[in-house]
Amino acid sequence: MDIKKVFHMIGGIGETSYAANSSLQKGAIDMVKHITTESIVELYLATAPQNLVIADLGCSSGPNTLSVIGEIIDAIDRARRKFMVPATLYDEDGKSMNKGKIYISESSPHLVSEAYLIQFQEDFSLFLRSRSLELKSGGRMVLILLGRTGPHHTQSANALLWELLSRSFGILVSRGDIDEEKLNSYDTHFYAPSQEEIEEEVRKEGSFAIDRLEVFEMRRDIQNGSSTYGTTVATTVRAIQESMIRHHFGEHIVNDLFEIYGRLIDEEMTKGEISPIASIVAMRKRL
């Protein structure tokens, strides 16, 4: 028997065709499509591939094959935006251009800071546009953003804190607790815009006018019981970053990582104060 000629569904779109008589299969696909979608999104988040190929190895004649593809693409896109880091941090082979670092550092190529800026511009513009839909003309919005005072990222306390977290990861790599390639494929979901970058994006997006924009230093809280400043900062960063770190590296490293991080911050504090920079922006929706 010639299997290729005999073992197939009825093609075409006629009355007896598979395409016209596969509603039961479609019902089954629809009932469990959330499992299919979740599996593919989990794969995407775990591997961060340059390309993702999906193949239907079932009865791929008729519309059922494509019935769930649109939803899968939308789910991946939502996940990509939620956990987005700049795509241009990776070369054509998918290798990190910011090896051993999780944020912009003195050793980072210039392309790294450019990639973060481009991502900030895209995200902040979308944020402003979305908020403008929620406000009436003349409505006010006040934002407090971590930022920096000048053009150079590495001169800010915010960048120093991320550098210390990078060093904490590096210690775990040296111990063999983390694979080096795993570290190279992780980047912090953070950007500290300058005053000029904030002003430029607000102007370009066009929905708001800035009434007031000030930059200030965040003072250390010295009334925090027995905890050191390093411990306080480490637990604060952990509360924000742990879910992403745990997802990428595994839960087993988290406690050691932030214990090391807090210690490195305290050691750095003996050399001088660490005062993160923030910006407050008061703006109103244009008429």
CATH numbers and ranges of domains, the chain: 3-82 (no CATH), 90-285 (1.10.1200.270)
* pTM of the shown model: 0.66
Mean pLDDT of 214-235: 80
What pLDDT band is residue 132 in, cutting at 50, 70 and 90? very high
Is 278 a residue whose pLDDT tops 80? yes
The conformation of residue 83, written as its DSSP 8-state character, comes to: T
* Rg of the chain, C-alpha, whole Å: 25
47: CB partners within 8 A, 6+ apart: none
- Residue 127 has a CB neighbour count (10 Å cut-off) of 13
Mean pLDDT of 31-42: 84
Describe the strand order of the beta sheet including 140-146 as a list of residue ranges. Answer: 140-146, 277-285, 208-217
| Lowest mean per-residue pLDDT among 85-99, 120-134, 192-206 | 85-99
| Winning range, highest mean pLDDT, from 184-193, 223-232, 251-260 | 251-260
How many whole angstroms separate alpha carbon 90 and alpha carbon 181?
Answer: 13
The conformation of residue 252, written as its DSSP 8-state character, comes to: G
